[in-house]
Structure 1
Amino acid sequence: MADKIKFVLALLLIVAGVAGFYLLGNAAMVLRVLCVIAGVVAGAAVGWTTEPGKRFAGFAGDSWVEARKVVWPTKKETLQTTGAVFAFVVVMAIVLFVIDKSVETAIYSWLLGWKS
């Protein structure tokens, strides 16, 4: 029950920040944006203390650790892979063009006799 109350409070803080943006319509834009940022940060801080918030924080931390373990390709590997994909696309475009024209010729010239 306490988590639900905290979650509702977090949502209300975010809504209050957005409402402050519109209520301070004549104020400087920096102040209005800071109001929204403060509402989101306060809502996130309250939401972080809930059980789902703690699970999300753990998941985000684990995801960050896993992302650091990824072996990213080098520039050379990226260019080679991109070149291979580009070459494959060009070859497939030519093959499909030849097939399309062959089927077109077969249907229109030989089967229907529309082209002479």
Structure 2
Amino acid sequence: MNTKAEQAKGMGPADIGKLALASIVLIAGIVGFYYFSDNPNVPSFARVVGVIVAVAAALAIGAFTVPGRKLRGFIAESQFELRKVVWPSRDETLKTTGIIIVVVIILSLLMGLIDWLLKTVVLDWLLKLGH
């Protein structure tokens, strides 16, 4: 667990401006993609590349804001924690999967048996007692 003390900072006007600019760039890329869809001189590949460039530019602009820095820190800490995970071996994974399949089959049969018993009791015995 990370015990760094962080100062709570709000977004300033510069951050709001950067996020607005990132939104404008992203919207411009999407609008450009659809605007040039009817133009036969612009290939589909160029339109897709334009959207990808717009998304990359918007992410780059947004990365230098307070929320962007927090997100980058979160991703870096997540990657650090992910390196600590001990992944199961192939043999352990196969054995665990086999056990789960067997348990699911057994529970399914058990639930089917309970359902059949309840159906038999209610429909065959209890409802026929009234006749």
1:24 aligns with 2:36: yes
TM-score normalised by structure 2 residue count: 0.81
Task: State the partner residue of 2:21.
Answer: 9
Q: What is the TM-score of this pair, normalised by structure 1?
A: 0.91
State how far apart, in whole Å, the 1-side matches of 2:124 and 2:46 are. 73
How many residue pairs get matched? 114
Structure 2 equivalent of residue 83 of structure 1:
98
- Deviation digits for residues 3-62 of structure 1, max 9, x if unmatched? 000100001011111111122222101110111011111111111111111111111111
- Aligned-residue sequence identity (percent) comes to 39
- Find out whether 1:69 has 2:81 as its counterpart: no
Cα deviation, residue 73, structure 1: 1.1
* Offset at residue 110 of structure 1 (A): 2.1
Report the alpha carbon displacement of residue 109 of structure 1 after superposing the two structures with TM.
2.3
Task: Give the distance between the partners of 1:94 and 1:103, measured in 2 at CA.
Answer: 14
Q: Which has the higher helix share?
A: 1
1:82, 1:52 → 2: CA distance? 40
Correspondence for 1:46? 61
Backbone CA RMSD of aligned residues? 1.3
- Does residue 59 of structure 1 match 2:71? no
Confirm whether residue 113 of structure 1 aligns to residue 125 of structure 2. no
